[in-house]
Every structure is written in C-alpha cells, then in structure tokens.
Amino acid sequence: MSSPTSVLLAGGGSAGHVSPLLALADALRRRHPRIQVTGLGTQSGLEARLVPARGFELRFVPKVPLPRRPSPDLLRLPLRLRDAVTAAGRAIDETGAEVVVGFGGYVSTPAYLAARRRRVPIVIHEQNARPGLANRLGARWTPYVATTFAATALPHATRVGMPLRREIATLDRAALRAEALEHFGLESQWPTILVTGGSLGAQRLNDAFRARASTLSQSGIQVLHITGAGKEFEPDVPMVGAPYVTVPYADRMELAYSAADLVVARSGANTVAELTTVGLPAVYVPLPIGNGEQRLNAAEVVAAGGGLLVRDADFTAEWIEGQLVPLATDGDRVARMARVAAALGEPAADERLADLVDRASGSRP
C-alpha cells in the first residue's frame, strides 16, 4: 500500500455524511502525520462549521440537488452540475489530491465526475443500507467501495462499518458507568433506558414516554431522555421510584451510552453503528419518511437478535407499558441482546476505510 500525501474528502449537508468524513480524516492524520486532508462541501451544510473546527481545510462547491421528478430545476441541472464539477476539479488540482473519497450527497457527484476526468482514484463510503444516487453513480467508476452494512447493494462493495469518532469507537462503558450515572443524576440500582431521537428529538418518542413516565418509574426503570432542544418536559413521576431525567441534548454521548442498559432510538445509520459498536441493545423506531432506509439500517441487528424493530405508528404509550417494561426488567434477555449487538459492531471502521484509501493511492496511474 502507498502513503498518500494529499486526500480530498467530499461529503456534507447532514451529520450522517460529515461524521464519518471527520472520523476518516482523523484516522488518516494519525496514520500519516504529514498528510494534507481537505474537505469538500457546501457553504450551507454542517461541514462549513465542523470541518474547520476539527482543524482541516474546507473547499466549497455549489449545492446541486438532483431532482427526482420533472421540474424547472431539472432544466437548470446541467449548468449547475457543470459549475460544481469545475469547482471540485479546481479543489483537486490546487490541493494535489491523490485520492478523492466521497460519502454521498450533493457534494460527491461533482467530486466523482471531476476525479474521473483527471484519473484520480475514487474511494466511496456508503452509510445507509440502501445506497443513495450519488454513490450508485460513483461506484461504477471505482473498485474501492466501502459500506456500513453487509446487505448494501453496490458493485465491488466491501463492508468496513461506519467510521466513528474515537470516543465512541474505543468506549469502555463499564469503566465509565459510575461517572456517567453521577453526571446525569441517575442511580446504580436501577436498569436504565436511554431515549434519543437525535439532536432534533423525535416527537413520537417524546409523547409516548411522557405519557408513561410514572409507569416506568414505579416499575423500577430509570430513564435518561434526550428530548431535543426546545422539547424538554417535566416528567410526572412519584417522589419514590426510579429517576426520570430529561435533557435537551447530550454533549458527551459516550457518557449517555455508558449509563444505559437499553436504548430506544431512531435507526439512522450512524445511530445503529454506534449502538452496535458500544454493545447496546435497542428498540429501533425507524423514521417513517424517505425510501425506507432507516428500517433497512436496523434489519441486520434486529434479525440477529440484538434489537427490536417497531413501526413509528405502533410506538405508543401502551407499547411501552406492555412490551418495553417487561423487556427492560428482564436483565438476562437484555444481556443476551447486548452480546449480539456487540458482535456486529465495527470499532475499527475508520482504520479499515483508511486502508482502502491507501490501496487506492497505490493504484494511481
């Protein structure tokens, strides 16, 4: 394998693209201290703030959404795409990029096109079980295709897992548990459910748990509920019982995971990857929008027995009382699910993707 001196990482818009990009950037910098890692994104995406904050240069391309149905935007697409490809090509030329890595989304399509024209090797990472349009296109032009899930249908695909930040990938939950419980005001004698709908929260989860906060507390189950900013509520729980703690967000998810025995969450690719990597069983409630990718993201771990899948419409206060309470209080079952989940985790995904970058670098003509 070769050691690249300059790599361009294309991805942005959402945390789902930016998080693995940053994890790979960190892995490449650890492996090759003198490497130049440059991000490629849009000015309106999360990457505009997060990539420079991590100490990496960021270049910009115009945002070019690909219309999925006939519209005026479809007529403007060729000109917009041409401008974006020109900007991506300029970034490749000016940084001397020897490999272009794409994570899907608006930014990756022009990056793949510009790299192909210059015969610069392309590496692709697909986060979701169902691949997006940009990566389906790019995978036609490279043998270096990495996926998070084994079932992802892309040519030349190799499962590497989801690159995660080191605080999660190397997390020792048992070692941090006492600190985590104290941090959130929880107690060691109760099983703990972590509820999280991501940074924006999930109203379906919030409403159902709020309606059964007292039931959970009286059943001897403590809850750490990340509601989302602006969605906090005061749980109606008895004075005597297990704690029910609500927070708008958690700056240190490693502590939230360390406090938990069981998780209730959406099934975004990053969430599924983090929970399996840290060995936490979960009740996954897929977001009922898009093309069904969240359901597919959780399919493998659910089929193996490391989680449960509940339709959004079925996740109700009654489901919590009738199904979740018996599960959370069955320590043996939760422990079995945890072992299965952990067996599917890929804590070294960042290094495995970095291996692929090195291989691609060695293939340069």
What tokens does 46 get?
């999360």
Token pair 């009738």 is found at 322
d(CA 244, CA 249): 15
Is residue 296 within 8 Å of residue 128, measured between CB atoms?
yes
Whole-prediction pTM = 0.92
Torsion of CA 280, 282, 288, 293, to 10 degrees: 50
Class in CATH terms, 171-343: alpha beta
Residue in the structure block whose two tokens are 């079932």: 151
Residue 169 three-state SS: helix
294 is in an annotated binding site: yes
Q: Quick one: CA dihedral 196, 198, 203, 204, positive or negative?
A: negative
Q: Is 135 annotated as a binding-site member?
A: no
Query: Is residue 284 within 8 Å of residue 308, measured between CB atoms?
Result: yes
The annotation status of 114 as a binding-site residue, yes or no, is no
Helices (H), 154-268: 166-169, 173-184, 203-211, 213-218, 253-259
Residue 56 to residue 38: CA distance in whole angstroms: 6
Q: Tell me whether the CATH fold assigned to 6-164+347-362 matches the one assigned to 171-343.
A: yes
Domain spans of the chain, in order of start: 6-164+347-362, 171-343
Q: Is 199 annotated as a binding residue?
A: yes
pLDDT of the residue at 67? 66
CA–CA separation, 365 and 362 (whole Å): 9
- What is the C-alpha to C-alpha distance for residues 346 and 160, in angstroms, rounded to an integer? 7
In a 13 Å sphere around the CA of 88, the CA atoms on its Cβ side amount to 34
Distance CA 49, CA 186 (A): 33
Instruction: Write down the pLDDT at residue 199.
Output: 58
pLDDT, averaged per 10 consecutive residues of the chain (365 residues), comes to 90 86 98 98 91 96 77 76 96 98 94 98 97 95 97 95 97 98 98 87 90 97 94 86 94 97 97 98 92 92 98 97 99 99 98 98 83
Dihedral of CA atoms 295, 301, 303, 305 in degrees, nearest 10, equals: -130
- C-alpha pair distances (Å), 84 with each of 41, 48, 109, 226, 341: 11, 16, 9, 38, 41
Rounded to whole angstroms, the Cα distance separating 134 from 128 reads 12
Pick the CATH number of 6-164+347-362 from 3.20.20.70, 3.40.50.1110, 3.40.50.2000, 3.10.440.10: 3.40.50.2000
pLDDT at residue 28 in the model: 98
